[in-house]
Copies of this chain bind each other. A is one copy, B any other.
């Protein structure tokens, strides 16, 4: 079969992709290093994976968004066995009566930007240059496909033992409820495919170009000379919130999520400042003296101050030298429906969303 494609995802490209996914993950999607190891092994064994643009595929073909669901603290220890993607594909095809032609990351953030590549390598399919968030979010219906009215089910979930559950629910929130309960029974993490759609639907219902964007970000980091943080901020058009060290971490794994908070104490020019990050799998909010400095759906990432590599929420530790940055989310999240699904109030906060560029201007 001859693929017209954007590029081949080989080992080197995957490394760049991983570092880009880590930044776009906003702390979530699970540490990209785990996904990188799994994806690299798969392309070494089964060959590189074609990255396709949605315009290159036939509009009736079926796209399978997929990834892991659950708590990243669990996912870094409870690895895939590799067969999950094939099983998801088989059961999704049985449930829909249609043939899957390409995989897509449900969320580009963290390991979830790489897992579909690993699965695609093993079952001989391409991945598409798009995802359902342009970042990572903790809840299933926090997807651009939900905003676009794509049906959330049939959703297929599986674990590394071979158990399979197929959900057909009346709404995305019912899927979240049932799939989360199954995830907890599976030990806090599971693999799933949901919101499957035709290529024609995917062209308008997804965040396009996000795989290429992640690769570009990773390459910027790899090629950075003197000041990787500054080069990254410039590439992303991001805002630096603080440079300092991690003074406290509170984190617990509950109800299939990682929840907690991180205190960052300013160093150098930021000496005397204290910022608090609040976490639900992803970095949700940054507060300083009771003022909101950044919030969902904008992306908040904690970077190693030396290497500018993003640190996933489950890897943040006391004493790390970090730089906290924030950047604009994809425009779909700034619409009314987007904010209803993934704005501060969707996470229980009692304040309205203010775009990061407005907050940054006010703070300056």
Contact = CB atoms under 8 A, between A and B. Distances in A.
A222 interface: no
Contact of A170 (B162, B181, B185): B162
A78 interface: no
Mostly, the A contact residues are mixed
A360 interface: no
A166 B91 CA distance: 11
Complex copy number for this chain: 2
A164 interface: yes
A178 B182 contact: yes
A168 interface: yes
Contacts of A181: 181-182, 184-185
Contact of A163 (B91, B163, B178, B185): B178
Contacts of A185: 177-178, 181
A161 B165 CA distance: 19
Interface in A154-204: 161-170, 174, 177-178, 181-182, 184-185
A4 to B, nearest CB: 36
Contacts of A162: 170
Contacts of A165: 165-168, 178
Interface in A61-100: 91
B166 A170 contact: no
Contacts of A182: 178, 181-182
A122 B163 CA distance: 33
Nearest to A168: B164
Contacts of A174: 161, 163
A166 B153 CA distance: 12
A166 B168 CA distance: 8
A182 to B, nearest CB: 6
A255 to B, nearest CB: 12
A317 to B, nearest CB: 33
Interface string A125-169: 000000000000000000000000000000000000111111111
Contacts of A177: 185
Interface in A262-309: none
A92 to B, nearest CB: 12
Contacts of A184: 181
A256 to B, nearest CB: 11
Nearest to A180: B185
Nearest to A176: B185
Nearest to A181: B181
A167 B182 CA distance: 10
Contacts of A91: 168
B163 A169 contact: yes
In the A-B complex, the 8 residue pairs with the smallest Cβ-Cβ separation, listed nearest first, are A181-B181, A166-B166, A164-B168, A163-B169, A181-B185, A177-B185, A162-B170, A178-B185
27 contacts: A91-B168, A161-B170, A161-B174, A162-B170, A163-B167, A163-B168, A163-B169, A163-B170, A163-B174, A163-B178, A164-B167, A164-B168, A164-B169, A165-B165, A165-B166, A165-B167, A165-B178, A166-B166, A166-B168, A177-B185, A178-B182, A178-B185, A181-B181, A181-B182, A181-B184, A181-B185, A182-B182
Given A165-B167, A166-B166, 9 more contacts: A161-B174, A162-B170, A163-B174, A164-B167, A164-B169, A165-B165, A165-B166, A165-B178, A177-B185
